[in-house]
């Protein structure tokens, strides 16, 4: 496992295999015969894989450096992964839009705002 974590291509392969294995039955297989829909689903699955991969890489980087900027970026990548999961299940009609009634906004938009804020903090934070 340590060699897989040290090698980014191996880590990407493991993340890809796990995501596809987990999502194949509930998400991919029911829509495999719908060409336009399956491409949309694959777009979200690829985005999810990239977001999870970047989350793991940033966690490993944070563990090495203990840098607050990297920590904010890590949370931003995790927020991106959550958004992609919401979009994926919305695209497959397994989940309706989740609306926050107080502000009448979709949950995915709020998470997107949080993600952008975390990335902004990570980029703009001054190290002392």
pLDDT tens column, 103-114: 888 999 999 999
pLDDT of residue 89: 86
2 confidence band (pLDDT: 50, 70, 90): low
120 confidence band (pLDDT: 50, 70, 90): very high
Task: Read off the pLDDT of each residue in 96-109 and give the average, rounded to a whole number.
Answer: 87
Distance CA 23, CA 19 (A): 6
pLDDT of residue 104: 86
Domain residue limits, the chain:
2-124
| Torsions phi, psi for 2 (to 5 deg) | -60, -40
pLDDT tens column, 25-80: 888 787 778 778 888 888 999 999 999 999 999 999 999 999 999 999 999 999 99
Inform me whether the pLDDT recorded for 128 exceeds 70.
Answer: no
CB-based contacts of 40, cutoff 8 Å, min separation 6: 91
CB-based contacts of 69, cutoff 8 Å, min separation 6: 122, 123, 125, 127
């Amino acid at each position: 496992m340590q060699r897989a974590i040290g090698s980014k291509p191996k880590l990407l392969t493991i993340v890809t295999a796990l995501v596809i294995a987990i999502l194949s039955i509930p998400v991919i297989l029911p829509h495999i015969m719908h060409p336009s829909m399956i491409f949309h689903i694959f777009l979200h699955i690829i985005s999810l894989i990239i977001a999870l991969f970047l989350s793991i890489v940033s966690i490993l980087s944070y563990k090495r450096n203990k840098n607050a900027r990297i920590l904010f970026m890590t949370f931003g990548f995790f927020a991106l992964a959550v958004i992609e999961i919401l979009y994926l299940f919305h695209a497959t009609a397994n989940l309706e839009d989740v609306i926050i009634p107080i502000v009448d906004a979709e949950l995915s938009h709020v998470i997107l705002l949080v993600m952008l804020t975390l990335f902004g903090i990570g980029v703009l934070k001054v190290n002392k």
